[in-house]
Amino acid sequence: MTQQTTRPTPAQRTEALEQLLTERELVDPKVVDGFVARYETEVGPLNGAKVVARAWTDPAYRERLLADGTAAIAELGFSGPQGEHIVVVENTPAVHNVVVCTLCSCYPWPVLGLPPSWYKDPAYRARVVREPRTVLREMGLDLPESTDIVVHDSSSEVRWLVLPERPASTAGLSEAELVPLVTRDALVGVAKVAP
């Protein structure tokens, strides 16, 4: 009779590693808690949505954002690790931009938070470069054949952010009213902002 062992889950392994590092005084739990709290409350797609809403309502800001994404994003107070050099590209009816990191999962954390699991998946990373239209369709975004798709590969040197098209039906909305409409997926280019 063989004894079957169960493997610990990733959460259990993470907890065991944290406990070991804490016991050996290599990590301060307060520092870890601070990082977790920051990424739960201060960093994330809401920040990116605020950047987009400002660009949609302030033409001068939009110009600065497209000229120097890092500086324009910092104007709103969003900066930090993984956000040292962000390039912003704009979606139009003729051109649709989508972001990937083919090597790992480079991602603009200050404006998008931590990357979703599908962004880190090897299948997404490989396929979106070779067959972007098919991958986007599988993710629920069916673009017209007349729309060119440009794939941007993030790296440790540059991270990309998509400025999605503003739906025409939102013309009368304020900046604050626009923020909840903008999703993380639209900021990566795998979705559009719903009207």
Q: Are 134 and 141 contacting, i.e. CB atoms less than 8 angstroms apart?
A: no
Query: How many domains in the chain?
Result: 2
Structural domain includes residue 67: yes
What CATH number is attached to the domain comprising 122?
A: 3.90.330.10
Does residue 86 contact residue 73 with C-beta atoms inside 8 Å? yes
Q: Is residue 2 part of a domain?
A: no
Residue 119 lies in a domain: yes
Cα separation, 109 vs 156, whole angstroms: 12
Q: Is 174 a catalytic residue?
A: no
Same domain, 111 and 182: yes
Binned at pLDDT 50, 70 and 90, residue 102 comes out as very high
The residue from 79, 106, 117, 146 that is catalytic is 106
Q: Establish if 159 belongs to a structural domain.
A: yes
3 occurs within a structural domain: no
Q: Is the pTM of this model over 0.85?
A: no
156 labelled catalytic: no
Is the pLDDT reported for residue 40 higher than 70? Answer: no
pLDDT of residue 150: 98
HSE value, Cβ hemisphere, 13 Å, CA-based, for 137: 8
182: containing domain: 45-188
Asked if residue 32 and residue 86 are part of one domain, the reply reads no
How many helices (H) and strands (E) the chain has is answered by 11, 4
| 110 in the same domain as 14 | no
Alpha helices (H) along 6-138:
10-23, 29-41, 45-57, 59-67, 69-75, 109-112, 117-120, 122-130, 132-138
Determine the average pLDDT of the residues in 24-51: 80
Percent of the chain beyond pLDDT 90?
A: 66
101 catalytically annotated: yes
Q: 140-151: per-residue pLDDT in tens?
A: 999 999 999 999
Residue 1 lies in a domain: no
In terms of domains, do 29 and 111 share one?
no
